[in-house]
């Protein structure tokens, strides 16, 4: 019989649906004329295909959930830029001043600190001469630094024994020069970079040799001041005070300063310019000293400023040294002084500071 009739018959006899084993036995006993297992295949195919499609559906759903709901990474442009710089910097030659400035400047600063003070002054002098071609700094016989290398001044005498000065100040990798223009007498400023100093004046053997030669002319400030201890009365009479440039003090602590051919009196923290005018007669030079009129700037008051060179004997002051006397009452021509006045003169007369 066919499969359908056999199943009806089996169910009527046994009161249940035939199982797969019953199907196989009926097939083997020849009770049915077709392979009833063929009817099981569509069911299996349907189950397998359903499972596949269900799995694919779940995968699609999972992908969509990730795309729409998973948090996006932040686009940190600053971090990207920073990584970019680090990456680029790794390819930079730290010895090249043209490329990789951020790497070269720290190495230049480290090299700068490794130099001697005289070498540093020599580099600064050359750089300043390039920025101010009118300067006589490179032709000076001697140079000196006052203050400190980070905030001080380089001083020197020119061929006429006039002292010059350039202020130097460091701000990280920048050097600032402040000086008085020789033509306009106005204060000017120029700047340069620390890596430029090395690139121009310490990179080649020739540059190093030039720097070495200039550094050999650097002396301390006291030595520089002592190079011009001779008081030149003829120059002073012409308004040239280069032979007395420097700082002068009394035993009482009063201070006179001659700089850039100008005279200043310092009292406490107050610094006042003295306007100097030579007297109409030069007969005093024959007496061995010279007196000029001095007047504090902006006031009508005045006093005589006397320049007394070595050898002139007056009021028992030290005639082995040049001296300066400031008074509106009497000067070095007054030889016959009572002892009380002599003591007053000795306390109030000015000597150059490195000679007191």
The residue among 201, 224, 247 that closes a domain is: 224
- What is 161-221 written as a DSSP string? S-EEEEEEEEETTEEEEEEE-TTT--EEEEEEEHHHHHHHHSSSHHHHHHHHHHHTTB--H
Does 218 lie in the same domain as 237? no
Cα 248 to Cα 271: distance, rounded to the nearest angstrom = 14
- Distance between the two ends of the chain, CA-based, in angstroms? 146
Total structural domains within the chain: 3
Does 199 lie in the same domain as 235? no
pLDDT, averaged across the chain: 80
User: Are 165 and 259 contacting, i.e. CB atoms less than 8 angstroms apart?
Assistant: yes
Within-domain flag for 283: yes
Within-domain flag for 84: no
Range of the domain at 292: 229-355
Does 319 lie in the same domain as 269? yes
pLDDT of residue 85: 35
**What CATH number has the domain bearing residue 140?**
3.30.1460
The yes-or-no verdict on residue 283 having pLDDT over 50 is no
| Residue recorded with tokens 């001469």 | 129
User: Are 347 and 252 contacting, i.e. CB atoms less than 8 angstroms apart?
Assistant: yes
Does 273 lie in the same domain as 350? yes
The yes-or-no verdict on residue 280 having pLDDT over 80 is no
Does 44 lie in the same domain as 160? no
**pLDDT bucket at 6, cuts 50 / 70 / 90:** confident
Does 244 lie in the same domain as 191? no
The region of weakest confidence among 58-67, 116-125, 186-195, 266-275 is: 58-67
Does 204 lie in the same domain as 295? no
Q: Calculate mean pLDDT across residues 157-169.
A: 80
The residue among 208, 224, 240 that closes a domain is: 224
Within-domain flag for 85: no
Does 255 lie in the same domain as 168? no
The region of weakest confidence among 33-47, 126-140, 210-224 is: 33-47
Does 279 lie in the same domain as 210? no
Does 302 lie in the same domain as 213? no
Within-domain flag for 124: yes
Q: Which two tokens stand for residue 239?
A: 């308004």
pLDDT of residue 101: 45
pLDDT of residue 97: 40
Cβ-proximal residues to 265 (8 Å cutoff; 6+ apart), any chain:
254, 255, 256, 257, 271, 272, 274, 296, 326
Higher pLDDT, 151 or 27: 151
Q: Residue 352, exposed/middle/buried by CB under 10 A (0-12, 13-18, 19+)?
A: buried
* Verdict on whether the full-model pTM lies above 0.85: no
Does 254 lie in the same domain as 339? yes
Q: Calculate mean pLDDT across residues 117-144.
A: 93
* pLDDT one-digit tens code per residue, 168-218: 999 888 999 998 876 676 889 999 998 898 889 988 999 999 999 999 999
Cα 28 to Cα 339: distance, rounded to the nearest angstrom = 159
Within-domain flag for 88: no
> What's the DSSP call for residue 98?
S
Within-domain flag for 74: no
Does 240 lie in the same domain as 332? yes
> What's the DSSP call for residue 68?
H
Within-domain flag for 9: yes
Cα 57 to Cα 314: distance, rounded to the nearest angstrom = 119
pLDDT of residue 98: 41
Within-domain flag for 79: no
The residue among 224, 253, 270 that closes a domain is: 224
pLDDT of residue 182: 67
């Amino acid at each position: 019989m066919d499969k359908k009739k056999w199943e009806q018959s089996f169910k009527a006899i046994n009161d249940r649906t035939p199982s797969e084993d019953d199907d196989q036995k009926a097939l083997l006993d020849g009770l049915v004329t077709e392979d009833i297992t063929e009817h099981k295949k569509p069911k299996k195919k349907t189950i397998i295909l359903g499972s596949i499609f269900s799995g694919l559906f779940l995968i699609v759903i999972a992908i969509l959930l990730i795309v729409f709901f998973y948090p996006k990474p932040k686009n940190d442009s600053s971090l990207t830029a920073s990584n970019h710089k680090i990456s680029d910097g790794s390819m930079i030659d730290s010895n090249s001043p043209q490329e990789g400035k951020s790497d070269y400047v720290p190495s230049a600063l480290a090299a700068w600190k490794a130099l001697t003070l005289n070498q540093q002054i020599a580099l600064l002098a050359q750089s300043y001469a390039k920025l101010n071609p009118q300067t006589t700094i490179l032709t000076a016989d001697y140079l000196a630094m006052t203050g400190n290398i980070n905030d001080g001044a380089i001083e020197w005498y020119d061929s006429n024994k006039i002292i010059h000065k350039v202020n130097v100040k460091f701000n990280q990798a920048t050097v600032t020069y402040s000086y008085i223009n020789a033509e306009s007498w106005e204060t000017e400023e120029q700047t340069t970079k620390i890596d430029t100093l090395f690139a121009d004046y310490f990179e080649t053997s020739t540059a190093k040799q030039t720097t070495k030669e200039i550094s050999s002319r650097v002396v301390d400030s006291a030595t520089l001041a002592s190079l011009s201890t001779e008081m030149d009365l003829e120059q002073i009479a012409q308004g040239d005070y280069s032979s007395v440039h420097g700082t002068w003090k009394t035993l009482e602590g009063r201070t006179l300063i001659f700089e850039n051919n100008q005279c200043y009196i310092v009292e406490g923290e107050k610094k006042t310019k003295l306007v100097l005018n030579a007297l109409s007669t030069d007969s005093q030079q024959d007496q061995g000293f010279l007196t000029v009129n001095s007047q504090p700037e902006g006031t009508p008051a005045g006093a005589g400023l006397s320049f007394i060179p070595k050898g002139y004997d007056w009021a028992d002051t030290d005639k082995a040294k040049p001296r300066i006397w400031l008074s509106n009452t009497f000067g070095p021509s007054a030889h016959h002084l009572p002892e009380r006045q002599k003591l007053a003169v000795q306390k109030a007369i000015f000597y150059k500071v490195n000679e007191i």
